[in-house]
Structures are given as C-alpha cells and as structure tokens.
Amino acid sequence: MILDLFKLDGKVALVTGAGQGLGQAMSLGLAEAGADIATLDRTGCKGTCEEIYDLGRRYFESVVDLREASVEQLKDVVANVVKELGRIDILVNNAGTIRRTPAVDFSETDWDDVLQINLKAAFFLSQAVGRVMMSQGGGKIINIASMLSFQGGITVPSYTASKSGIAGITRALANEWAKHNINVNAIAPGYMATDNTAALRADPNRSTSILDRIPAGRWGTPDDLKGAVVFLASPASDYLNGAIIPVDGGWLAR
C-alpha cells in the first residue's frame, strides 16, 4: 500500500535546531511517522523532548552551539547518537541563523557566524552522518535551503551566500552518494512565521509587500513542513536525488 512507503517505524532521525520553530515541527512530524528522534540544539529541546516521549518514541539530546563547534565535536555528536539510539537513518540540517545589515556595512563577524552555522556545520555533520549511512547501506539527508537559495534578498548577504551554498552541496553530495543508497535533497521554506522573520512581520510595509506576492495569501507555519520532511525521509522518495523542494505558498511561481 502506498501509505506504507511513508512510514518511518524503526528509523532514527537527527534534527538540528530542534528546540523551536521549523526544527521542532519537523522533529514532531518525523516522530508522528514513527521515527525515534535525536536533537542538536544550542539551548536544549525540553518541549520537543516531552512531545516526542508522548508519541511513544525514543529521544536523545545533544546541547551544542554550532557557532563554536569544531568538526571533531560534530563527529562526537554523531557517534553519541549511534551509541544511544543504535543508528542514524535520517539527518535534517535545519539549524540556522541570519544577520540583517546592508552589504556595505556588513561585518566579518556576522559573515563568519552565519557561514559557520548555516553551511560549514551542515556540511561536516553530513560528512559524519554520511559515513554512518554508508556502513548501514543507505539513508536520507535533508538540508534546509531557502527562497534565498534562488534569489539575492536584501541586507542579508551572508545568509544568501550560505543558503546558495546549501543548494550547491545538496546537489554535490547527491551526485557522490546516490550510489551508496543515500538520498540528499533539500526543502526551501518560503516566508515562515518564525523568529527569523519577526522583524519582517513587524514592518507593515515589508509584511504587506511579501504577502501580496504569496499566492496562498499567508505566512507559512512550521507545521507546513511536516509533509515535505516525512516524504524526503521516507522510502516514498527513494528515487529523488539532489532536489530542492520549495514549500513557499507559491512565492517562486510569481
């Protein structure tokens, strides 16, 4: 039956930035589909943890600040997840940050912090998890891209660079790892009602101009990503490689 292809029973997913927002919703969506969940977050994921336990799933938490994490620390996170939960079948590289300043005034610190969290940490976590998946015979890596993987944006040069990079490494890893039965794909959320867009939503003019371009006529919510992440994590997407799926209410279609 087709619905059986979307089940994640017996799978283990590692989700970064799972304490709130998009990461929390995707963690819960994966757990609702049957997966046990490991989280990585700077401040911990107490609320996420409680909801996952309520679903009857196993849970393991790593508290790590990706802005400061070394490659060796990321390898240790992966090793600890495997030790505690037995395997890793799904990686969701969701953790991210944004800094808003005109390009002419953009600081080196704001550039480095965003690239470290959004791109470097995602790549080296994928590398560490990819080795585990190769030894297991396959897996699913899901990167979180952005509308700014396709567009330039305004006053967010490091975020645009990082999300353009995420699109690139999604394709690059898909090319190399498909032969290992590892599917590497990405979700590109549109304008979502999260902390990252609080400043935009608080600006009446900017908010109106954004909503006027979204055919769905509303900001997205974290729950809008549950279906896409379960699909990409499940056997239903076994022949999908290197894709970047917009979940944007039609923004890119305008």
- Positions annotated as catalytic residues are 159
CA angle 226, 229, 234 (to 5 degrees): 120
Instruction: Tell me the residue type at 139.
Output: G
Gyration radius (Cα) of the chain, Å: 17
Name residues whose C-beta falls within 8 Å of residue 244's C-beta, 6 or more positions apart in sequence: 145, 149, 167, 170, 185, 186, 187, 188
Instruction: Tell me the residue type at 11.
Output: K
Name residues whose C-beta falls within 8 Å of residue 51's C-beta, 6 or more positions apart in sequence: 28, 31
